[in-house]
Amino acid sequence: MRGPHNILRLIRTGATFERTGAMNIVLDAFEAGPLLRITFRALVWPFRWLGYKGDPTMPPAPRALTALGPAYIKFGQVLSTRPDVVGEELAVQLRVLQDKLPPFSMREAKETIQRELGAPFDQLFSTFSEPVAAASLAQVHKAHLADTGEAVAVKILRPGIERAFQRDIDAFYFAARAIEVLSPASRRLRPMDVITHFEGVVRGELDLRLESSAAGEFAANTEGDAGFQVPMVRWHLSSRRVMTLGWAEGTNIGINDALDAAGHDRRALATRVLQLFLNHALRDGFFHGDMHQGNLKVAANGDIIAYDFGIMGRIDEYTRRVYAEILFGFIRKDYQRVAEVHFEAGYVPANQDVDEFARALRAVGEPIFGMDASRISMARLLSYLFEVTERFGMETRTELILLQRTMVVVEGVARSLDPHMNIWQVAKPVVEDYIKQSIGPQALMRDLAKTTRILSRFGPQLPRLAEQALIRLNNPPPPPKPQRRKARIAWMALGAVLATSAITLGNLL
């Protein structure tokens, strides 16, 4: 329940932020005004001793969130994808949050499996390891199937996490409302919308059937991608609180020494990981939204294996075409066309000057293209691009924010494998191929065929629709009666009912 009782929980939260040194960082990120700062200080300072100490080796913001527990850690992870809300500096800090929490007991894990899958534990698995990873919402075990001996990964939600999440989300909503009331300037950052977005993301992760579905769709989309694997979902061993996937055996893609020792070509891996991401985003419109080193392995045969599908991004076909044209325009240094695409898509208001916008884009692109190949960064370009479009009145688009954040992460993975890779040369063939497939004559014919199919569905209904339109044309509806008259009649009726009730009650007494 969202109410004043949440004040006590927020005081404990504020005390932890104050004790860990994260309070000023958070207030600065949200551009809090003097009234909000004074209010927070007055509420929190006397209770500073109630705050958790946290891990002093971590940066202040992750230190506070880790100390406060799973829901706060997940909140920090989600905010790390929204530099438009918290600022780039705080977003970078939040990206260091690690999914390394104390695991829950093996007894609870086995009880959850038996309850969810409806079968004795020993009939399902012949072996079941201690947790190999303990995250904010769930933990993972390695197991072997009792019937086939196949190695699998079993992901299990933390006991009581739904109740704990609901308790914390109520406090988050209460805090967001207080921030909007005490600091009107913060409303442009939409604190309530941020919490609503966070609630939607986590509620999806609290039902592992949805993550299983995402993994299955991603596997189907990428089945033909050379050098890429997605563990298959074992649906008969998955439920709302349990998910079972094939075990991903390989070397962590972030450990260069181990990759070298295994004989893998890191330059080839760097190229492949970037091109795979662009293919998934542009070709499929469905991409892994958390492709950091911890979620990628390299198999013995050199294939890249992706896992953990809690955060996935989806882009509609029109947005993909716009995004590809923007990238292609930058690759060709055609800044005028990049500007026109922004206006055609409605990203920049029509009252802005397209030529002036093109000049601003040139100021973004030219310095980057003048860099050494090892310093050229598509992620930096996207960051600068969003800064420019914001100045020209472009509204924030959540799907592009996730795309930008994932591009930053993927580029970081590629750079860690090959510091001298030329991002543009690697991206160019993927973008060019998508442009040919989606914007050329063949794409036009496909679009016309698709439009014809959609219109044909309404063919049988056309006579009825035409008849209804003619009837409405020949018999226009009567003008609506004034609202005041309706309101007066409603009040008179209510008064009559009350008067009748009063007379009846008087007679009874």
**Within a 13 Å sphere around the CA of 303, how many CA atoms are in the beta-carbon half?**
16
Amino acid in position 444:
L
Distance CA 26, CA 37 (A): 11
Work out whether the CA dihedral 38, 39, 42, 44 comes out positive or negative: negative
Q: Annotate 457-490 with DSSP letters as a single string.
A: HTGGGHHHHHHHHHHHHHSPPPPPPPHHHHHHHH
Q: How far is CA 174 from CA 169, 190, 429, in A?
A: 9, 14, 49
Q: How far is CA 251 from CA 161, 284, 303, 383, 448, in A?
A: 31, 27, 10, 31, 47
- The candidate with the shortest Cα–Cα distance to 299, out of 218, 229, 223, 244, is 229
Helix (H) / strand (E) element for 313: namely strand 312-314
> Active-site positions?
290
Please, what is the Cα angle at 232 between 132 and 202, to 5 degrees?
Answer: 65
Contact by Cβ (8 Å): 146, 123 = yes
Pairing relationship of beta strands 304-306 and 228-229 according to DSSP bridges: parallel
